[in-house]
Amino acid sequence: MTDTPKRVLLAKPRGYCAGVDRAVQTVEEALKLYGPPIYVRKEIVHNRHVVATLQAKGAVFVEENEEVPEGSIVVFSAHGVAPEVHEQARARSLKAIDATCPLVTKVHQEARRFAAADYDILLIGHEGHEEVIGTTGEAPANIQLVDGPDAVDKVTVRDPSKVVWLSQTTLSVDETLETVDRLKRKLPLLVSPPSDDICYATSNRQDAVKTIAPSCDVVIVVGSQNSSNSQRLREVAVDAGARAAYLVDYASEIRDEWLEGASTVGLTSGASVPDELVMEVLDLLTERGFGEVAEVSTADEKLTFSLPQELKRDMKAAKATRAGEAAALAAHPLS
Ligand code: SF4
């Protein structure tokens, strides 16, 4: 009798997106430039490992600006903040570096624009998520949250001909379409956002996991419990046909019973997960006999974002100062 071959289908794209990469680099560069401590309001991205790594380098994570000593440097997370958070920072004379993902900023701009035209804005998203709190803060009087298809029944608007829907960037694409369908049945004149609010990274990771899941007995998603896009990957994997899907921060959390009887394991990771954590899961799967690995690629991602202007400006000034000091030293060498 021969054993069934055991294999891993590794989804691509997976892991870091452009917004997370920029946010993590922002904290790292700020630590190098200004020295620790650098205060970070909320988790810079929703990943335990990333947060712990930055903490070890001197980042101090706080919940609110009031925990930051006056005059200190504070970085705002990739999920975005309401305008009042910027105001609070100014009031405490904090030097704020805004690492909000530009794709979240785009949704904030849409919210401001439609609110200025006095639209009711139906924001599809998860109650309490930092991104939703930040976007709602742009126009609290105009925005109402729609937390999934079943919440549509509760929606009431002032003028059905002046309503737009926007969304959190990290939702399930399919569930959001369902919510929008139900909203459109209720409000036929509902206006759609000028471009997709669910970001490219969320859509691409969901497409990749949908492709592998039907062939998988089990899908492992590397990501933290509070990561919206990672949670959605786990749900999408099950909806697309995987027998089971689990979300883990680390390889050590994988239980042997999850792999019992499995011949194909799918593997992916959320947009805030460094690939080294996925490689550790691959190593563990290899130890458990899943030696064959096939990477299944459904998209090629090339997008990058430049660092926040306020940080780039200070980095440039520091470089100019160093160059000036080097030139002065060359002109007048120390004897
Ligand atoms: S998941 Fe999307 S919106 Fe969020 S940081 Fe990444 S690119 Fe930006």
Task: Write down the pLDDT at residue 5.
Answer: 82
Task: Write down the pLDDT at residue 206.
Answer: 98
Ligand 1: atom nearest CA of 271 is 1
Please answer whether residues 235 and 305 qualify as being in contact, where contact means their C-beta atoms are separated by less than 8 angstroms: no
Residue 120 CA to ligand 1 centre (angstroms): 25
Residue 237 CA to ligand 1 centre (angstroms): 20
Residue 88 CA to ligand 1 centre (angstroms): 25
Task: Write down the pLDDT at residue 155.
Answer: 98
Average pLDDT over residues 279-308: 97
Average predicted confidence (pLDDT) for the chain? 97
Query: Nearest 5 degrees, angle CA 169-CA 175-CA 178?
Result: 120
Rounded to two decimals, the pTM is 0.95
Pocket test for ligand 1, best of 50, 98, 101, 230 (most atoms within 8 A of CB): 101
C-beta neighbour count of 207 within 10 angstroms: 15
Catalytic residue IDs:
131
Residues 6+ apart with CB under 8 A from 269: 14, 15, 221, 222, 223, 230, 275, 277, 278
Q: Is the pLDDT of residue 57 over 80?
A: yes
Q: Is the pLDDT of residue 2 over 60?
A: no
Per DSSP, the three-state class of 166 is strand
Task: Write down the pLDDT at residue 335.
Answer: 58
Q: Is the pLDDT of residue 333 over 90?
A: no
Task: Write down the pLDDT at residue 3.
Answer: 62
Ligand 1: atom nearest CA of 169 is 3
Task: Write down the pLDDT at residue 1.
Answer: 45
Residue 247 CA to ligand 1 centre (angstroms): 19
Ligand 1: atom nearest CA of 104 is 3
Q: Whose CA is nearest to atom 5 of ligand 1?
A: 19
